[in-house]
Amino acid sequence: MQVSLDQREQPDGDASPTRGARRVRDEKTQARGGEKTQARGGNNSLARADRFADLSAYTFKQRLLIRAADISFYVLINLIGRTTRFSVEGWEHWEAATRDGRQPIYAFWHNRVFLATYFFRRRGIVVMTSRSFDGEYIARFIQRFGYGASRGSSSRGAVGALVEMIKLMRRENRPAGFTVDGPRGPRHVAKMGAVLLAKKTGAPVLPFTVNAECYYAAPSWDALQVPYPFTRARVLIAPPIHVPPDADEAELFAKRAELQRALDSLDN
């Protein structure tokens, strides 16, 4: 199914997966002890995800740079998104993944983040960001688009961030989003995070891509695509991938391979 949309019509770490799941369980157990204290302070998972983080740990110059980068990226993505004409193929797969009030785990390549951020805005999607200078301004501009930020990355604090995403999906019925080859690649090689999250929450993984006709490819590890204003873009959505809650290591690797094939097929 293909749908053409203008802006008014638009619908608003690769270790053993078994060990990764065990680490998530351990982190959840450790986190329970601090939950009451966090609740008394009003610092629960939902508040952390949806509000700007405190910048007092950064220098004055760093705070200025974070705020400048935040606003700059927000304005740039908003400008490009507003002038892009989108068409959608596979929207029935999104409908299948969200049937009966379910929320999916959106999975896509890191270099498609510009238009993906704009197209799926205002849905409360929770994404993983790092506890770092770069991660802070990224968290802020995606929050302006209606996303939540779970602090961590596959190289720093990933387990804690994944635990927080599990909580938000289970308790608040929030969708999640993964750039499955991020944060540093290899480019277009799917990692295990989205599959583990699907196992823990029962949510389907929804592979998709956004292919712009005209764009600048940045000289970065992922060849980040920065679309030109007024370009056309195709949003391609694959069938959802379901991961059983009792999936063993072999099945988790098989599901990751299925995700890899789905994303590869969208690019061909």
CA distance 21 to 5: 40
pTM of the model: 0.83
Residue 246 included in any domain = yes
Both tokens of 36, joined, read 């009451």
Each residue's pLDDT tens digit, 146-160: 999 998 554 556 777
The percent of the chain in helix, strand and coil, each rounded to the nearest 5, is 50, 20, 35
For residue 42, being part of any structural domain is answered with no
pLDDT at 132: 84
Name which of 143-157, 166-180, 251-265 the model is least confident about: 143-157
Q: Is residue 227 assigned to a domain?
A: yes
* 223 domain residue, yes or no: yes
User: Which residues form the domain of 77?
Assistant: 58-267
Provide the pLDDT for residue 3: 53
Number of domains forming the structure of the chain = 1
When mean pLDDT is compared across 28-32, 41-45, 56-60, the lowest value belongs to: 28-32
Summarised one tens digit per residue, pLDDT across range 95-109 is 999 998 999 999 999
pLDDT at 107: 98
Phi, psi dihedral angles at 21 (to 5 degrees) = -65, -40
The answer to the question of residue 11 being in a domain is no
Query: 239 φ, ψ to 5°?
Result: -60, 145
**Is the pLDDT score of 231 beyond 80?**
yes
Looking only at Cα atoms, what is the longest distance across the chain? Answer: 51
3-state secondary structure (DSSP) of residue 237: strand
Characterise 147 by phi-psi region: left (phi > 0), alpha (psi -120 to 50), beta (else). Answer: beta
Residue 180 lies in a domain: yes
With respect to residue 6, please indicate whether it lies within any of the assigned structural domains: no
Does residue 12 fall inside a structural domain?
no
Q: What is the mean pLDDT of the chain?
A: 86
